A and B are shown apart, each in its own frame.
Chain A
Amino acid sequence: MAQMPQIAPIGTEGYLVRFADRLDDGANRALVGFAAALEAEEIDGIVEVSTALASVFVRFDALRIARADLVARLQGLLDSRDWKTESNIAKKRLWRVPTLYGGAAGPQLAEAAKLAGLREEAAVRELSAARVRVLAIGFAPGQPYLGMLPERWDVPRQTELTPRVPQGALVLAVRQFCLFANETPTGWRHIASTHMKLFRPEAEAPFALRPGDEMIFEPVSEHDWALLETDPLGGAQLAEAGDA
C-alpha cells in the first residue's frame, strides 16, 4: 500500500491528496482540516479545493502556478503538522434535524434494526443519539454522506434497488447515513424521513451543508413533523458545535 498522505496528478488541471485508500473517520477529519487550511493559505493559482471521503482535490491554473511549485506547497502544508491530531479545524457546525422514524416515513427501519441485532425502539434510540459528520457531499448537489455509525450498523447495501425514495429520506448502509436531496432509486435502506431541503438554487445559501458539519437526527412525532413540511430546512436548527 502506498504511503499516505499521497499527492498525485488527476486529469490535466488537478491534484489529488489522498489521506487513505478506504473510508476512515480519522482520515476524513484530517483531510477536512487540511482542505480548510489550504484554502486559508490563499495560494495564487489554486482555483478550487474540494473534498471527498478520503481525499482532497485541488484544481489549479497552470498559467499562475507551476506543477512543481504547487506540489511543493501541498507537501509543505502536509508536513507542517499532524493532521490526524489537529483539532483547530474551522468552527464546527452542528445541525439538529427533526426526523420521523419508521412507519411509512421509514419503511425499512425494522429490517435495518434486525440486521443490526436490535429491536426497533432501541434502534431509534441509538440512531437518533448518533452525532454523525458530513464525510463528503456528492452524488446529487448538496447530498451528504454521514458517518460513522456504531459498528453494528455495518449493514450491506441491498442487492435490489428500491425504485423510489423521496427527497428528505434518511437512508442507511455500511455505518453511514445518506440524506437524499432528491427523489432517487437506492440500494440503501430507508429508515426515516426529514423535510430538510439540501439544495435550493434560488436561496441566498443554496447549499445547506458543508463537509465537516455534524448532524443529529432527533425523533419527533408525526404531528410535529407534518407541521415542518413548509419550512425549507424542515425545522433543522444550526448551532456552533461544542465538544459535548
Chain B
Amino acid sequence: MPELLLHQIGPNASLQDLGREGYLRFGLSRGGAMDRLALLEAAALLGQGLDIAAIELPSAPVTLSVDAPQRVALTGAPMLAEAGGRSLQWGASHLLEAGEALSLRPTGRGLYGYIAFGGGIETDLTLGRRSAHFTGGLGRALAAGDVLPLGADNKPSAPPRKLAADNRFDGGRIRFVTGPQTELYSAETRAAFGAARFVKSSHANRQAAKLDHQGAPFAADGQLGVVSEVIVPGDIQMTGAGEPFVLLAEHQTMGGYPRIGAVIGQDIARVAQASVGVELWFEQISLEEADRLYTPENELLRRIRDASEPLLRDPREMNGLLGYQLISGMITGQED
C-alpha cells in the first residue's frame, strides 16, 4: 500500500473530511473541514466524491513525500508550494513523483490550506469517517514522522487541472439569517451589529472564531435566562460580555449563550479562512434569499468540476528562473 510520509508539519494540522452527521443528539457536532469548499475543490481536481479526505494545514507548514507517484490537489488558503525545485501553482492538481519532497508554506492570506491525494487517504474509519474532531476526542493532530496509508492512484497521468480563483480568503461581507433568539436583542443592538466593522481575532480555532470591534458590546435582554438550545454551524453567539463568536466545525451541540443569528453555509468558510486582523461585516438576508442561494454539496462539486480547467505549464513554474528565486528569498524573509 502506498504511503505518505510527513517529514515536517506545523501544529494543529489534521486529517479532515466532510465530517460526521447524525450524532447531534449524542453531543457530537459534525466537525470536518473548516473550509468545506476546499474539500469539494480537491475532489473536483482529483475526480473524487464527497467521501474525500485531505490534510488540513492551519497556517502550518509541511514537508512530505509519497513512496509511489500520486496526484496531489492543493486547495484552500493559498500556500507557497514547491517540489523537486519546481514551484507549484496553488488551486490546482500536480503529479508528485515517488520520493520527491513537497513543501508547503503559509502566505499569510487565509488560514486553512489543504492537500489531498489522487489515491485517497486510507486510514481507519471511526464512526464512519476519518476526520479528527479535537473537541469530541476523535483522532489527533498530525506530527512529524507520521506515516499515513494511501490508496493507489489509478490515474497518475491524468492531466493536471486548476480551479477558478476565489476571494473567500480575504474577509468581507458575511451574510446571516435571524433565528429563534434574535428577538432577545433590541432593534438598536441589531442595527449596531449590522453597521459594525469587525476584525478577525487571534482567538479562533476549529470550534469558534471571535470577532473584535470598536464600540459597545452587543448585549441581549435577559441574557442569563436562556435555556440551552441546539447550536447550528455558523451561529453568531454572544458571550456574557456581548462579544461575538462565530461557531465553526467543532461547535458544541448546544449552548446557553444567546445567538443573534446564523451565518449561511456559503459564508462560513469566509469567516474560518479570514486571517487575524482581516475585516468582516454582517449583512442580514431573508430566509427566502438564503433558500435561493442554497446549493447542496454534490451539486457544488459538479459545478466546481465543470468550472475547472486544464493546468497549462507556466514559465514561472520552471526551474532556475529569476522570479522563482525572488519568491524563495521572500519566504525566507517572512520566516525569520
Contacts and interface: CB of A to CB of B under 8 A. Distances in A.
B179 A10 contact: yes
Contacts of B228: 52-53, 136, 138
B180 A10 contact: yes
A70 to B, nearest CB: 12
B138 interface: yes
Given A11-B233, A16-B229, A141 B291 contact: no
A119 interface: no
B105 to A, nearest CB: 34
Interface string B121-152: 00000110000000111100000000000000
Interface string A4-15: 000011111110
A47 interface: yes
Interface in A44-73: 47-55, 57, 59, 61-63, 67
Given A10-B262, A139-B253, 20 more contacts: A9-B180, A10-B179, A11-B235, A20-B227, A52-B229, A57-B232, A59-B24, A62-B294, A137-B25, A138-B228, A138-B252, A140-B135, A142-B26, A142-B27, A142-B28, A199-B28, A199-B137, A201-B138, A206-B127, A207-B26
A214 to B, nearest CB: 17
Tell me which of B127, B225, B229, B265 has the highest count of chain A C-beta atoms within 10 A of its own C-beta: B229
B177 interface: yes
B21 interface: yes
- Counting chain A residues whose Cβ lies within 8 A of the other chain, the interface size class is 35 or more
Interface of B: 21-28, 126-127, 135-138, 177, 179-180, 225, 227-230, 232-235, 252-254, 262, 264-265, 287, 290-291, 294, 296
Interface in A1-51: 8-14, 16, 18, 20-23, 47-51
A108 interface: no
Nearest to B22: A48
Contacts of A182: 137
Interface of A: 8-14, 16, 18, 20-23, 47-55, 57, 59, 61-63, 67, 136-143, 181-182, 199, 201-202, 206-207, 210-211
Central interface residue in A10, A11, A140, by most chain B CB within 10 Å? A11
A129 B265 CA distance: 47
> Which of B26, B136, B229, B253: most chain A Cβ within 10 A?
B26
B291 A12 contact: yes
Nearest to B264: A12
B227 A50 contact: no
Contacts of A48: 21-22, 24
A57 B230 contact: yes
Contacts of B21: 47-48
B180 A18 contact: yes
Contacts of B252: 138-139
Contacts of A50: 24-25, 230, 253
B232 A139 contact: no
Contacts of A211: 25
Contacts of B296: 61, 63
A152 B26 CA distance: 29
Nearest to B293: A12
9 contacts: A9-B287, A16-B230, A18-B229, A23-B227, A47-B22, A52-B227, A55-B229, A138-B253, A206-B26
A139 B290 contact: no
Contacts of A62: 291, 294
Contacts of A201: 126-127, 137-138
Contacts of B136: 140-141
A13 B290 CA distance: 10
A49 B24 CA distance: 8
Contacts of A141: 23, 26-28, 136-137
A21 B227 CA distance: 6
Residue from B179, B228, B262, B287 having most chain A Cβ neighbours under 10 A: B228
A17 B28 CA distance: 20
A53 B262 CA distance: 21
A222 B291 CA distance: 58
Contacts of A181: 27
A55 B229 CA distance: 7
B179 A9 contact: yes
Nearest to B234: A11
Nearest to A209: B26
A54 B329 CA distance: 59
Nearest to A201: B126
A11 B126 contact: no
A23 to B, nearest CB: 6
A16 B26 contact: no
Contacts of A23: 227
B91 to A, nearest CB: 27
